[in-house]
Structure 1
Amino acid sequence: MAPRKAPQYDDYRVAAQEIILSSSDNDYLDQLIPALKDATNSGRTKGLMQSLSQYADAREGDIERIGMTKHEEFLQSVNQLQQVREGTTALTTEILKLNQSIQSSTEKLAAQKGALVDTSAVRQNIAEASEALRESLKVLHAVNQAHDLIRKKQYYAALKALDDLQNEHLIPTIQNKYATQHRLADIIQKSIPASQKAISEAVMSDLNTWLFRIRETSQFLGEVAFYHTELRRTRQKERMEGNPYLQNFKLNSAIELVFDESEEFDVLDNEELQVDFTPLFECLHIHEALGQSDKFRADYAATRRQQKELLLPSSVNLLEDNENSLSSLLEGIAGFAIIEKATTRRAHSLRSPVDVDELWDSMCNTTVKLITKALDQVDNAEVLLKIKGVIALFIQTMDGWGYSVALLDNFLLKLFEKYAELLKKRFSDDFQEIVSSDDYMPMPISDLDKYDKVVSVSWFTPEMPREELTFPCVLPFSQMYPLCCIDIRNFLNQFYFFSDDHFQQPNVIDEALKKSLDELLSEKVCKSLVERLSSQYLGQIVQILINLEHFEIACKELEQLLIAARSSTSAGGPIILDATEEFRSNKKTAEKRIFELVNSKIDDLVETAEYDWMAPTLETEPSNYMQTLIRYLSNIMNSTLLGLPREIKELIYFDALSHAANMILALPLSPSVKKINPNGTAALAKDVSHLSDFVDGLENAPILKENLDELQQTVLLMQTENPEEFYDISIRNKKFGRVDAMNGPQILEKLTYSVQSPTGTRTDRLANFSSRFGMK
């Protein structure tokens, strides 16, 4: 409480009157002490004394006036006064003593009074200071509580505490300029932005730690997501096996998602991985409370772009499974993109879909460039298939999160082109090796198991039931045919492997497969077989013809297989392989080559004929060349040509006999042969008869024997006793109708005996015959 101020006096006469008229000692002192203090403080003590003296004089004057008017009474009074005076004197002495005592007590009391006043003021000050301190402590307690919440990482509560501190304490105190805590409140108010900045920095620090952990766990998150997609694939395949209709619905389709609803799995919160978005949401909430949402969004977007750049390497290794492999890269990208999509779904205002899609497109473009660059090192189709599998798993996973995968789907087309090229090259080498290393002999089979294996992989329909087979046995084709069939099946399977799980353009596979298969069969099989037709070994040529026959059948089967296997998006209608016609047409080439070799052998044998056309004696045995020729024809029929289809075999035999007959017929017609006697004719007739007997023993002899008609009739003409019959048209058509009109006269001209006729010599008749038919 503040000390009470002494009253101010302009004139002490009133004060003196109040002092004298005081009703009690306490009142007297209460009136006297302020007047003394004022006189002392103002230096007007004489004025006070003068006022008191004037008052005393005025009273004495009154007394004298009263004494003069009432003398007796006055004198009486004087006496009384004298007595009183004496008593008063004594009393005055006592009063003086008492006054001194009172004065002494008054001084002590004044001192005590002053001390009391001072104490009251101090106490008031202390109370006011205590109250101010109490209020200040409340403010400081609120400040400390806010900072304590910051240390406990309760940032939003700390921010709320600072806000409450401002609204409840600081602002009202600052607005009251006379408040004791004004200065403290002002200082604290000025420190609020720093505290808010500390909170902002603290949550950003926690967010950066969270972002670092997210970056570290992105690959594992992607791995978990891939594993979950693989499980979904397996479940969908099992459903498709149980219900073929579901084959029309791929992964991530509405039907698949409905079926998979019972298999709930949160890739961000499971037994292996938990991603807590609390630091992110808290940081967003804090910055919204601070009014810094735009700045935070910009900073967060910049940070994520930096993390995206750190995520993408400068190169990728497609051949090894390590931290720099394609799987690791795609898992990291998948984890990063899943976090982005989850952030967008949980905090709509933080990340715009445009920003997320831009990051996704950037990562996809970079990934495609990295893979394209690394593909130059890949020369193995299986590695490419593995790469496609990883990319397909990545596509299906990210498609499920709503990302656009069109760029990756288009890249799979380029990957397929590379894959098809490698497959074609590898199988081209395999076919080349199979064709070049084949022995071109009928394939021997030692037991039933091996037979079943060969039949199962080859397009081959046995003539006999397997139960009736005896082993060892041989199959008509050579070993190259089943080996090529195995390769063809593998080729088909490996082509369609690329469309497993995910490939949006299966019709491209159908077209590429047909084209590649056509080229392989035409260029590497058919063409290679045709090149080997230049061989002089008849058995090899025959085997090539048989192989061509079976390859033609295989091509027809392949056409049906391709129709059944093609996708629903491919164009309908039949599938025609150019290789089918290639094998069919080149069978004719092989047949011609067989004709050439057989006829060449026949030529060689007939050229060894050593007829003595003017032999002095008659030969009793067929010529050696004829016996060898018949033995050769018999051998090729029963061994070399045995595996050929019946119609081809008969055609070859028919042509061989025709050629042999022509070659034998050419012997007597040779210009070197001038004369032929009956013994020479008999030798030729014996050989022709021996050949005719051989043909009689063959299947379809009547048809085959037609090839010998001209030769037999020519020999008959050489043996005739009446050569003039040849010139009689009616007789010639009946007996010598197959003899060439020019050859007959030449043969007759070489015979050693000469027959006269009424119409002239035989030479004349030949000339007439020639002129009749317009011959020179």
Structure 2
Amino acid sequence: MEQEAQAQVSQEFQKVLLSSVSTALPSLLDDEKLADNSTKTEIGHEDVLGLDTQAFDRWVPYLRSGVEKDQLGLITEELYNSVDDHFEGLEAQLLQDSQVSDKLRNSIGQISRVHNLIENSLVKDINHIQEQLNYSTNEVIMKKEVYVNDKKTSLKIFEANILITKVLQILELSNKCQELIIERDFFKALQNLDNLERIYLQEFKNYKFQFLKEIYNSIPYLKSSIKNECINSIRNSFNSNIGKNIGGVGEAYFNVYDEELFPTWLEKKDMMKLGNFKFNSPVEISLRDEELVEKLDLRNFFHLDEFHDSILIFRSLNELDYLTTEFKKEYEFRKAKIIDPLTWKKSQNSGGGTAFGDYANDSFAQSLNMGFLKQYLLKILGFLLYDIHLNRSTDFMLVNNNYNATNEVWDALIVRLEPYLDHFVKSLTMEEELNEFKNFMCIYVCILENQKLNIEALYKLLIWVFEKVCTINKDAFKAEFDILLHDDDFMPLAISDRALYEKMLKICWMKDDELAKSKANAVDNSDQFTITLPFSPLYPMTCTLLKKTYNKLIHFIGTYYRHELHTLNSILVRTMESIFSNVINEKIRAKLDSTSREEIAQILINLDYFIIAAKEFSNLMTKDNILQNPSIEIKLSSISSYVESRKYAEDQLIDLIDSKVTDILETVDLDWNAKELRQDPDISIVDVAQFLEMMFSSTLVNLPYSVQTLLIFREFDSLTRQFLDILLHSTPPRISQESVQNFEVDMKYLESIISRIFPTQGAELNANNNVQSPVPGTSPSVNGYGRSSNTIENNIKSLEATFTELKQCIELLKIENVGEYNDSEVRLRKYPRIKPEDAVLLMSKIDMPLSPEMQPSLEDINLTNSQDSNYRELSSNGRKIANFFNRN
């Protein structure tokens, strides 16, 4: 390969020489004036060589390459061979050309001189080059020695520079640590200390630099300073976050709920008709505006960068236990300051040597009022929110991964606070105060509940507040009902204002058919509106008061209370039961000791409506369904109390009427020895009849139908029995036939008032030309309103049957042939209701005495008693009918 390269170089050099010769040779041949002396020759050669310096420059690289490779002789040899090869054919041509031949001959000498010149010049150049090369080599060797020495020095300088740089870096790190500590950027300061320590141990551990050792020895002190400053920064963070402004944080957070979330929910609740859902329920929480929710982000209230830095620092130092220990010490101190004047330890005194629970000497209890309590609880709320945010932000590291830490703090606090809260609520006696406390505490409970804190103690307190409100409302109802009862006139309620009447129908509980009849009557008399309702003003006023009280209680728990609905419902039902039974019923029952028939009759009517009210009120509470359970049905037990009071009122009214009838009968003085016949009843009988007619047509007209029927049958049965007793036992041994006939006139007159008490169909229509009082469909008045004519006729027939025994006795006294009584067929047909002993007594009073043989024997009397047993049972017909019509 090397030879091929050399051959190639020679060929290329040959081409360069040939091209140079081809240009220079003609000028040499044409120069005939060339001188022969050496000077001229040299000059001529110089001129020849100087004719084409560019050609010579083209030789230089090849010549230098040959010199450097020490191949100049080889190149010369190759050049000669090349000339022979290139000029082989040219020679014959030149020989044939005389001119050229001449010129060649003349040029041979010149070529020889050129050759010598070239050879001398090349040797000289080579020698010169060799000298320069030697000089250069020596110079390079010297410079290399200098370079090596300089390089060693430079390396030492570089090493020294690196060392100085690292020393400066340590100094800068040390200085930077100081600055970062001053700037309170402790984590970066700790990182710089770690870098400083690492650099020193890696680079300068074996160096004896005293100042570096001092810097290194200061690292523990700086780390200790960082730890101390971190603890101080935590203390400062406590001062800024849970210092005097902690109450303001609690208040701001509370106001977001109270002034923004709650009013917004009320608007949405009305707009979306979400009546059964409460504030803070899952539905309400899901509908909250995101902008309002963002306001509740605890990061808006507390900044905990110091804690994050401290955790990073102490974790880097592997001293998290020390941090948590110091944190607990400081945090316990802060807790004690926040809950002051309460103490963490329950056994400790509240201050000033007072025993726990001695509220009279307890400064905290003495300072309790609504404003102080709100301020104190808001401060506690702010602290709880801070504790929650701190634990969550630090991943519960500071509390040893106790995820229930805040709840434990709250539970410990509420144990100490609960007795004071109970004491405070116990001192609240005004409904406005309780309502204010409820509104505040319910929002407070909602916040705690959303933060997953225990609300059991506070919710029990709220339930107690509801109980107190129920008690206050019950007492207020009792006081107002006393006034209503005292002012009631115990008269049917007459209304002449249509608007008031419409309002009354909405207020009062009545049966549907009764309402329809009332409205029909109101329409029929639209020109001159006047209507009378059966109950007295006490009933609608009480209904209004009941609804008002119930609505207040429902509203009190309707917005916030979400838990223990069964307890709330039990309290509500118990309160309304107490109002119905212990207030309304007992006070009305106490009024039944009155001696006024009108008053008792009106009370009885009112009781009938209060039974309806109790039933409808049960349906109302079932419909409201505060238990949110549609399968629960509420029924007030006071209904049975009203039924018992109604029964007692009936008995009282019956006793009064019986007493009055008895008093009137005591004034009756009939002449049993009269000799003159009367066409008109005795004046005392007229008094009795007028009393009964007036009582049943006016005083008792609005009583329920069954009660009226009971009283009518009872009184007429009692009346006929008393007259029968007068006839049997209060008459003289002998009575005249005229007195018997006069007595018959009296009894017929009494019997005639039955048709006036139960009017006929035509009389009823005439009576209805005037406005009648609307009465319940199940309890129409005796005058026939709402009853069929068949019912009235049956009642009249049943009532007339109470006079049967009395009329038979009168017929027996009028008998002309006393012996016919011994005829069993006649006796059973005409005198079935008369007892044999009474018949003997009556016949002994007439002017025709019985002969011994005509007197019935004892056996006949017994036989008669046996045969007539079924008929004698009819003597108690009045009582059976009365029991039939009496309501359960």
Partner of 2:839: 744
1:614 aligns with 2:673: yes
Q: Residue 359 of structure 1: CA displacement?
A: 1.4
- 2:303 matched residue in structure 1: 276
Partner of 1:223: 251
Candidates 328, 332, 354, aligned match of 2:379: 332
Within the candidate set 596, 608, 619, 1:560 is matched to 619
- Decide which of 290, 295, 312 is 2:322's aligned counterpart: 295
1:729 aligns with 2:824: yes
- Judged with a 3 Å threshold, the aligned counterparts in structure 2 of structure 1 residues 356 and 668 are, in CA distance, closer, same or farther, namely closer
Q: C-alpha displacement at 1:536, in angstroms?
A: 1.1
The answer to whether the 8 Å contact 1:388/1:498 transfers is no
SS in 2 for 1:697: helix
- Cα 1:185–1:434, aligned 2, differ >3 Å: closer, same or farther? farther
Structure 2 partner of 1:25: none
Q: What amino acid is the match of 1:477?
A: F
The SS at the match of 2:657 is: helix
Worse-superposed segment, 549-558 or 735-744: 735-744
The equivalent residue for 2:490 is: 440
Between 1:136-145 and 1:531-540, the stretch displaced more is 136-145
Q: Name the CA distance, whole Å, in 2 between partners of 1:480 and 1:451.
A: 15
**Residue deviations 1:682-741, cap 9 Å, x none?**
332222222222223331333322222222333333334334444433223333334444
Report the alpha carbon displacement of residue 169 of structure 1 after superposing the two structures with TM.
6.7
1:106-185, aligned counterparts within 5 Å? 143=174, 145-167=176-198, 175-177=206-208, 179=209, 182=210, 184-185=211-212
CA distance in 2, matches of 1:641, 1:275: 78
Select between 412-421 and 477-486 the one with higher mean Cα deviation.
412-421
Which stretch of structure 1 is more off in the superposition, 611-620 or 189-198?
189-198
Amino acid paired to 1:265: V
- Structure 1 match to 2:428: 378
Q: Tell me what 1:305 maps to.
A: 332
- Structure 2: 5+ residue runs without aligned partners? 1-161, 343-363, 759-791, 867-888
For 1:220 and 1:380, locate their aligned partners in 2 and report how far apart those are by CA, in whole Å: 29
Residue 176 of structure 1 aligns to which amino acid in structure 2? Y
How far 1:609 sits from its partner (Å)? 0.6
Cross-structure match for 2:398: 350
Task: Give the counterpart of 2:448 among 398, 419, 432.
Answer: 398
1:450 aligns with 2:500: yes
Matched, 1:492 2:542: no
Structure 2 CA distance for partners of 1:697 and 1:404, relative to 1, 3 Å: closer
CA distance in 1, matches of 2:421, 2:531: 53
Aligned pair in 2 of structure 1 residues 246, 443: CA closer, same or farther (>3 Å)?
A: closer
Greater RCO structure (CA 8 Å; 6+ sep): 2
Offset at 1:176? 2.0
Aligned amino acid, residue 684 of structure 1: F
Instruction: Using the TM superposition, give the Cα deviation of residue 672 of structure 1 relative to its aligned residue in structure 2, in angstroms.
Output: 5.6
Distance 1:319 1:735 in 2: 92
CA contact (8 A) 2:278 2:560 kept: no
TM alignment of 1:562-581, pairs within 5 A? 562-567=621-626, 572=631, 574-581=633-640
CA shift, 1:634, in A, is: 1.9
Which range moves more in the overlay, 412-421 or 551-560?
412-421
CA distance in 2, matches of 1:499, 1:691: 62
Aligned mate of 1:480, from 533, 538, 555: 538
Deviations 1:278-320 (A, max 9, x none): 2333344444445443222222233333333333354468984
Report how far residue 644 of structure 1 moved: 0.8
Residue 523 of structure 1 deviates from its aligned partner by 3.0
* Structure 1, unaligned runs of 5 or more: 1-130
Aligned to 2:370: 321
- 2:533 is aligned with 1:464: no
- Per-residue CA shift, 1:614-659, capped at 9, x if unaligned? 1344445422221221221122123211211223212212222222
Alpha-carbon RMSD: 3.8
- Contact 1:412–1:503 (Cα < 8 Å) also in 2: no
Could you tell me how far 1:368 is from its partner in structure 2?
2.8
* 1:704 maps onto 2:752 in alignment: no
Hey, what does 1:679 align to over in structure 2?
A: 738
- Give the secondary-structure state (helix, strand or coil) at the position aligned to 1:209: helix
Residue identity over aligned pairs, in percent, reads 21
Q: Counterparts of 2:241 and 2:419 in 1: how far apart (Å)?
A: 26
1:754 and 2:848 are equivalent in the alignment: yes
- Structure 1, residues 172-222: CA drift from partner, whole Å, max 9, x if none? 567522x3xx1x444444444444444444444443233223223333333
**Which residue of structure 1 aligns with residue 655 of structure 2?**
596
Partner SS, residue 464 of structure 1:
helix
Kept in 1, the 8 Å contact 2:693–2:756? The answer is no
| CA separation of 1:471 and 1:213: change in aligned 2, threshold 3 A | farther
Alpha-carbon separation, structure 1, partners of 2:749 and 2:278: 76
How far 1:603 sits from its partner (Å)? 0.7
1:654 to 2:713 alignment: yes
Q: Following the alignment from structure 1 to structure 2, what is the Cα–Cα distance between the partners of residues 747 and 625? A: 23
Partner of 1:91: none
Secondary structure, in 3 states, of the residue corresponding to 2:592? helix
* Residue correspondence of structure 1 range 250-269 to structure 2 within 5 A: 251=280, 253=282, 256-260=284-288, 262-263=290-291, 265-267=293-295
| 1:663 aligned to which of 699, 722, 734 | 722
The one-letter amino acid paired with 1:722 is: N
**1:627/1:309 CA distance change after superposition, 3 Å:** farther
- SS of 1:260's equivalent in the other structure is coil
Q: How many residues align?
A: 634
Conserved? CA contact 2:200–2:216, under 8 Å: no
Q: Secondary structure at the match of 2:294?
A: coil
Q: What letter corresponds to residue 321 of structure 1 in structure 2?
A: M
- 8 Å CA contact 1:170, 1:185 repeated in 2: no
> Aligned with 1:706: secondary structure?
helix
Contact kept? 2:369, 2:424, Cα under 8 Å: no
Cα distance in 1 for partners of 2:632, 2:178 equals 80
Q: Which amino acid aligns with 2:621?
A: L
The answer to whether the Cα contact below 8 Å between 1:319 and 1:383 also exists between their aligned partners in 2 is: no
- Asked if the contact 2:843/2:849 (under 8 Å) is kept, the reply is no
Using the TM superposition, give the Cα deviation of residue 539 of structure 1 relative to its aligned residue in structure 2, in angstroms.
Answer: 0.9
The 3 A distance-change label for structure 1 pair 274 and 509 is closer
CA shift for structure 1 position 766:
7.7
2:388 maps to amino acid? K
Alpha-carbon contact 1:507-1:566 (below 8 Å) kept: no
Residue 591 of structure 1: how far off its partner (Å):
1.5
Deviation at 1:165, TM superposition (A): 4.9
1:692 — aligned with what? 751
Task: Tell me, in whole angstroms, the C-alpha distance in 1 between the residues paired with 2:701 and 2:607.
Answer: 16
- AA at the equivalent of 1:482: P
Give the Cα separation in 1 of the matches to 2:583 and 2:368.
Answer: 30
Counterparts of 2:654 and 2:449, CA distance in 1 = 65
